[in-house]
Amino acid sequence: MVRTYLLLAWTWTRAAAAYPLSFALMCVMSAVVAGLDVVVILIIFANTTSLAGFSREEVLFLYGAATLAFTVADTFCGNLDRISQHIKAGTLDTMLIRPAGPWIQVATDRFMPARLGRIVQAVAVLAYALTALDLPWQRLWMLPVMIATGLVIFAALWTLGGAAQFVLVDAPEVTNAFTYGSGQLSQYPFSVYGRDLVRGVTYVLPLAFVNWQPGLYVLGRADPFGTPEFMRFLGPVAALLLALLAAAAWRRGLRHYRSTGS
């Protein structure tokens, strides 16, 4: 499955690299556009010393961790939000009779390697924040765990969004609100949001496990909402449960699908 995905993605990457100047410019522009989010954070801290009790470097740490997970998921799974186009065009029928799974084919269709510029930008911000904070190394084992957890959670959200489009064929914007909206929501400390919203993204849609709960552990901070400390370590469990739900929804969506006859 992984080999098939990489082969299909490499095909689109080679096609994009055939025009090296255009490819390089697209990567640079992707990083620049993503950098505007950092500019917003810097503007905020140009007028204050803390945001909901968090310093600039702590906010950049939370931003970098969440954005890295989100951009990797967007690069490799973001095209799932285009499945409604395949349904309406009838090209999904072709995908269903190929030996590769339809999830892989939809995810790699028109794969955009230029999004790698956004990944580089997220890595740079996270590296800066880690250097500036000088965190104790005993807690840094959580960093790869939280990034992997965030990646699985965002990939599951895109899969759920794709599954929903088997029913809501003409409403891809609805699913985008959950995918890209979740990415935007997780860029800031959750202490800037209301208590009810934070409960919802902790116990219903587990966005708090992307960077908030594990990030509090890495930073050595107490949860301002009083969430028990063991919740810091439940990210992989939450990601697994959401992934299983997304896989079941995707399979159900495929069973719900009826061929266009084309």
> Using an 8 Å Cβ cutoff, are 108 and 81 in contact?
no
**3-state SS string for 197-239:** HHHHHHHCCCHHHCCHHHHHHHHCCCCCCCCCHHHHHCHHHHH
Question: Is the pLDDT assigned to residue 86 strictly greater than 60?
Answer: yes
Task: State the chain's mean pLDDT as an integer.
Answer: 87
> Using an 8 Å Cβ cutoff, are 217 and 145 in contact?
no
d(C-alpha 196, C-alpha 76), whole Å: 32
Q: Which residues contact 24 (CB under 8 A, 6 or more apart)?
A: none
Q: Which residues contact 39 (CB under 8 A, 6 or more apart)?
A: none
Task: Convert the pLDDT of each residue in 191-245 to its tens digit.
Answer: 999 899 999 999 999 999 999 999 999 999 999 998 899 999 999 999 999 999 9
> Using an 8 Å Cβ cutoff, are 257 and 92 in contact?
yes
Residue 6 neighbours by CB distance under 10 Å: 14
Mean pLDDT, residues 128-156: 93
Question: Is the pLDDT assigned to residue 172 strictly greater than 80?
Answer: no
Task: Convert the pLDDT of each residue in 42-60 to its tens digit.
Answer: 999 988 888 988 999 999 9
User: Can you give the pLDDT at residue 117?
Assistant: 82
Question: Is the pLDDT assigned to residue 262 strictly greater than 60?
Answer: no
Task: Convert the pLDDT of each residue in 1-32 to its tens digit.
Answer: 677 777 777 777 777 777 778 778 877 887 88
Question: Is the pLDDT assigned to residue 174 strictly greater than 80?
Answer: no
- Tokens encoding 61: 């740490």
Burial track 169-179 (b if 16+ CB lie within 10 A, e otherwise) = eeebeebeebb
